[in-house]
C-alpha cells in the first residue's frame, strides 16, 4: 500500500536561523529576494528556481547526502527508496518514492 504525502514549499524555507527579523524588505520586491538569497547562502545553501513556476528556493545539501539509509530517521531529509540513500538536497522537489520511519515505501511529492 502506498501513501501519498504532499508537501508545500514556501519561501519560508529561507528564513533566518534566528527567530528575529530586522528591517525585512517587502515581499515580492528585489530587496526581499536579495535578503532571502543572503540568508540562504549564510546557512550554506544555494538559491535557485524550483518547479511549477516556483522561484527563489533555498536548496541545502544535508550532511548525510547520498549516505545509506533504511528508514526516514536515518536522514536529515528524505530516505530515497530506490537507491536506499539519503536525498542529496533539501527540499526534494517533485515526486519520489521514499522510506518512512517504519521502512515502508511511500510516494512523496513536493512542489
pLDDT of residue 54: 58
The pTM score is 0.66
Domain boundaries of the chain, sorted by first residue: 4-110
For the beta carbon of residue 75, count every other beta carbon within 10 angstroms.
22
Measured CA to CA, the distance from residue 87 to residue 28 in angstroms comes to 30
**Grid cell locating 77:** 531529509
HSE at residue 101, side-chain half, CA atoms within 13 A, is 0
pLDDT of residue 84: 97
- Rounded mean pLDDT of the chain? 79
- The string of pLDDT tens digits covering residues 12-28 is 333 434 344 457 888 87
pLDDT of residue 104: 96
Confidence of residue 4 (pLDDT cuts 50, 70, 90): very low
Nearest to 50 by CA among 42, 61, 58: 58
- The string of pLDDT tens digits covering residues 61-88 is 999 999 999 999 999 999 999 999 999 9
In DSSP notation, 61-105 reads: --TTTT-B-SSGGG-SS-EETTTTEE-SSBS--EEEEEE-TTS-E
For the beta carbon of residue 63, count every other beta carbon within 10 angstroms.
10
Amino acid at each position: 500500500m502506498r501513501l501519498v504525502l504532499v508537501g508545500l514549499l514556501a519561501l519560508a524555507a529561507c528564513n533566518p536561523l534566528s527567530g528575529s527579523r530586522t528591517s525585512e524588505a517587502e515581499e515580492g520586491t528585489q530587496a526581499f529576494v536579495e535578503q532571502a538569497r543572503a540568508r540562504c547562502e549564510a546557512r550554506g545553501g544555494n538559491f535557485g528556481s524550483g518547479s511549477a513556476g516556483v522561484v527563489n528556493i533555498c536548496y541545502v545539501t544535508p550532511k548525510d547526502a547520498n549516505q545509506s539509509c533504511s528508514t526516514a530517521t536515518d536522514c536529515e531529509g528524505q530516505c530515497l527508496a530506490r537507491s536506499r540513500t539519503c536525498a542529496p538536497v533539501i527540499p526534494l522537489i517533485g515526486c519520489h518514492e521514499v522510506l518512512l520511519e517504519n521502512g515502508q515505501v511511500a510516494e512523496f511529492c513536493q512542489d
